Amino acid sequence: MTTFRRLSLVLATLLVAAGPGRADEPAQAAAPKSYQRVTQVSDTASRLDIALRRFEAADGKGPAIWLAAVTHVGDAAYFKQLQQFLNAQALVLYEGVGAPAFVDSTPADDATRADRTRDAVAFTAGVLADYHANKAAYPESLDALRAYTVEAHPRAARWLGRAVVDGWGNGLEYTHNADGFTLLSRGSDGKPGGEGAAADITADDVKAIDLAGNEQPGLQTSLATALGLVFQLDAINYDQPNFRPCDMTIRQLRQAMGGGGDGNAPREDQADGGGIVVEPNNAGAEDDGGRQLRQLLKTLDGGSMASRMLGVASRLLAANPKLQSLAKLMLIDMLGSLEGDIASNAALPKSMQQLMKTLVHDRNEIVMQGLKSAAAGPDAPKSIAVFYGAGHMIDLESRLVSEMGYKPVEDKWLSAFSADAADTGMDPRQVEAVRNLIRQQMRLMSR
């Protein structure tokens, strides 16, 4: 595989901005329109646009559903517009691989709820420790802690709104003084003391997470910085009452990839920059897909040789504005040239194809389950937005139409970012030559 094709596949995986369709999609089904488009602003400039597509039930019943596609790096103005749109929806189901256990709100027995609560207390205690380390005091309330976290640690803020509630839906109790704090759940009965599931769970019973250790910059952040852009997790405020995570856990991903899910030792680690995941100690049981997943996570976290090499390239881009403009233009044209299902791309080894199918199709199944549940019944919200990478949307649209009887009725397009090669001194003829090279390479990659 050529260097260009390798880089293209890595970037497509990191950004999840391709437009994959399902391999088992019926031949007679109308192909959904792309959720991304490239607008050629001039002979030397291009812009990447991302779609927000609204659907209505064909029978007129049910909430409006938006498939809110996103590219994971973009201009700050793009994410500001996206935030305003999402805040206006009644419910937002969003992606978050590596969500901590306490985020799971599905029905469970008391033992599982207690485990979730211990994770929630450990997470909140870690954020409290970070607050104290930066302000030499403790916050007056958990609401004040959340406000601080949105500004100081936007990635961790995705989970904090869930962390301050225990596994039984009761808010954690918090008090503080000059010397420290108390943080606890009153257990299943919501009363002081108790035994078994009813016993109090306090910060003294758990090990607080190291917030700083879970927020080291990953490759996507480095790429965004190098291109003069911002990374989605640093730009979107997920700590909103209408936001609900709807995704696979890292353990589910590993199980789907054949990497096992049992016998794992808890360890703080990164997934997408801000999650707490479990690193398996039975790596010998992994198949090729499990190893590919582990390698991808290491790449995202900056822990692989490939990520270190790309990190060097990112620093070179950041230091050279002309090279930065050219790289942005190439990235726009590359993303605009991606077609079909990247998971079935012949340029990918079979294990990587399976990984990509899991990352897209299997996670979309989780989304559809959440969407069907949220849309059912008389108390369904008036509008639901599915906030996922653009690479998920072709498959999700096909499922939304075939499984739920919805139809697309409106598109809104947001400008993600743009670039002008004139900034590099290139003339239109040179720019067109670069574009043709990219198109040729992308066509070869899709064979």
At 227 the three-state DSSP class reads: coil
User: Which pLDDT belongs to residue 91?
Assistant: 97
Is the distance from CB of 90 to CB of 408 less than 8 angstroms?
no
Is the distance from CB of 63 to CB of 90 less than 8 angstroms?
yes
246: which 2 tokens? 């709807």
User: Which pLDDT belongs to residue 32?
Assistant: 86
At 13 the three-state DSSP class reads: helix
- Residues in the chain, pLDDT under 70: 1-30, 98, 212-219, 250-251, 254, 257-321, 337-353, 438-447
User: Which pLDDT belongs to residue 5?
Assistant: 47
Describe the crossing of helices 305-319 and 321-337 by its angle, rounded to 10 degrees: 120
Is the distance from CB of 352 to CB of 10 less than 8 angstroms?
no
Question: Residue 256 CB: number of other CB atoms within 10 A?
Answer: 22
Distance CA 294, CA 156 (A): 22
Residue 247's nearest CA partner among 42, 82, 58, 16 is 16
Q: What is the pLDDT of residues 239-278, one digit of tens each?
A: 899 999 898 876 677 677 665 544 333 333 334 433 333 2
User: Which pLDDT belongs to residue 391?
Assistant: 85
User: Which pLDDT belongs to residue 295?
Assistant: 57
Task: Give domain limits for the chain.
Answer: 3-99+218-263+278-445, 107-215
**Cβ neighbours for 275, distance < 8 A, ≥ 6 positions apart:** 96, 97, 98, 99, 100, 159, 214, 250
CA 307 to each of CA 257, 310, 313, 315, 324: distance values in angstroms, whole numbers, following the listed order: 22, 5, 10, 12, 18
Which residues, listed in sequence order, are joined to residue 218 by a DSSP beta bridge? none
User: Which pLDDT belongs to residue 381?
Assistant: 96
| Amino acid, res. 121 | V
Q: Please tell me the pTM assigned to this model.
A: 0.78
User: Which pLDDT belongs to residue 217?
Assistant: 56
Is the distance from CB of 185 to CB of 204 less than 8 angstroms?
no
User: Which pLDDT belongs to residue 64?
Assistant: 97
Provide the CA 347 distance to its chain's centre, in angstroms.
25
Provide the CA 192 distance to its chain's centre, in angstroms.
38
Distance CA 397, CA 381 (A): 20
User: Which pLDDT belongs to residue 349?
Assistant: 62
Q: Tabulate helix, strand, coil % of the chain (nearest 5).
A: 50, 15, 35
User: Which pLDDT belongs to residue 442?
Assistant: 62
Query: What b/e string do you get for 189-202 counting C-beta neighbours within 10 Å, with b at 16 or more?
Result: eeeeeeeebbbebb
